[in-house]
Amino acid sequence: MPPQPHEILDYILIDSNPLRARIAELGRQITADYQGQTLMLVGILKGSMLFMADLMRYIEVPHTVDFMDVSAYGAGARQSSGDVRILMDLHSPIEGQHVLIVEDIIDSGHTMDHVLRLLQARRPASLKVCTLLDKAERREVPIKLDYVGFEIPNVFVFGYGLDIDEYYRNLPYIAVVKPGIDLSHE
């Protein structure tokens, strides 16, 4: 059994109310920016699933949703080498569509760099990025971010879609792991 959240949680970085408020703001901004257009939201699994579900409720332009599952190569490859594997591709073509990628966190930037190159080659009408969290300090590849929920410091976070060893994605807040917790299986 994985430990209870309170056993591994150091502090809550972003609680559910500020999360909801900021996501509502992002939704309103996206609604304003895409006025008169239709939009295709592309979620990167699995971390983006809660963010996507909440964000789309605040987007009031007509939109479709699709998902890709992308992973860094090799077990325990969190310190991304830049090799990114497509585990599940989109179901729909994106040519001529206004595409907005929805991601939970940009860390080194390797995952998003790969996804952007892949999707740009499919000739969408536009391609932008919306990330809930930006750990800018860790960036290894520059990425242009169009919508950012929160810039966060270089701490290990979990909850609200982000996992530790696949658990805790259901937590309604984003928390920081206690120092000394073994994250080797993340």
Could you tell me whether strands 157-158 and 98-106 are parallel, antiparallel, or unpaired per DSSP bridges?
A: unpaired
Distance CA 145, CA 164 (A): 25
Q: CB of residue 60 vs ligand PRP: minimum separation in angstroms?
A: 26
Q: Which of 44, 101, 127, 164 binds ligand PRP (CB under 6 A)?
A: 44
Based on CB atoms, which residue is closest to ligand PRP, 47 or 124? 47
Distance CA 116, CA 121 (A): 8
> Are 83 and 33 contacting, i.e. CB atoms less than 8 angstroms apart?
no
The window from 12-20, 27-35, 43-51, 151-159 that contacts ligand PRP (CB under 6 A) reads: 43-51
Applying CB under 6 A, does 43 fall inside the site for ligand PRP? Answer: no
Residues 9-28 that bind ligand PRP (CB under 6 A): none
Distance CA 174, CA 152 (A): 11
Helix, strand, coil in percent for the chain, rounding step 5: 25, 35, 40
Which secondary-structure segment (H or E) carries 126? Answer: strand 126-134
Residues 45-104 that bind ligand PRP (CB under 6 A): 45-47, 71-72, 80, 103-104
Distance CA 57, CA 167 (A): 25
Total of residues contacting ligand PRP (CB under 6 A): 17
Based on CB atoms, which residue is closest to ligand PRP, 76 or 96? 76
Based on CB atoms, which residue is closest to ligand PRP, 94 or 103? 103
Applying CB under 6 A, does 106 fall inside the site for ligand PRP? Answer: yes
Per CB under 6 A, residues contacting ligand PRP are 44-47, 71-72, 80, 103-111, 163
